[in-house]
Amino acid sequence: AQSVAQPEDQVNVAEGNPLTVKCTYSVSGNPYLFWYVQYPNRGLQFLLKYITGDNLVKGSYGFEAEFNKSQTSFHLKKPSALVSDSALYFCAVRDGGNYGQNFVFGPGTRLSVLP
């Protein structure tokens, strides 16, 4: 069975500094990896995905993520954080080798960007 871990419940960073939100995964087949952001009382918004190809994936709002197969990680990064990036971030994985598998989400990491 697949699983996702987000080891930090909360990440605080000063505006203008780089940010990293960590994600590690476990899946038996090929991992399909995703990052989503959730603002208060809203649904999840898709940020980026890794299916195959380059390990560095660029997404919306200046976010990027690096797929590391040996470390089974898919950390979300941004070179310069904005106060408006403050939100709840979810990492998700899907087993590409198993047709019936759905998206499994991590517990979420709350990002606070301080002015």
Partner 1 sequence: NAGVMQNPRHLVRRRGQEARLRCSPMKGHSHVYWYRQLPEEGLKFMVYLQKENIIDESGMPKERFSAEFPKEGPSILRIQQVVRGDSAAYFCASSLERTGEAFFGQGTRLTVV
Chain residues in the site for partner 1 (CB under 8 A): 32, 34, 36, 42-46, 49, 51, 90, 92, 94, 96, 99-108
CB of 19 vs partner 1, minimal distance in Å = 20
Cα-based distances in Å from 5 to 8, 11, 44: 9, 15, 18
Least Cβ distance, residue 22 to partner 1 (angstroms):
15
Q: What 8-state DSSP symbol labels residue 49?
A: E
The secondary structure of the chain in percent helix, strand, coil, rounded to multiples of 5, reads: 5, 50, 45
Minimum CB–partner distance for residue 15 and partner 1 (Å): 24
18 vs 29, beta carbon nearer partner 1: 29
Write phi, then psi, for 32 (nearest 5 degrees). -105, 125
Nearer residue to partner 1 within complex by CB, 74 or 90:
90
Of 9, 20, 22, nearest to 72 by C-alpha is 22
Comparison of 43 and 115: residue with beta carbon closer to partner 1: 43
**What minimum distance in Å lies between the beta carbon of 16 and partner 1?**
28
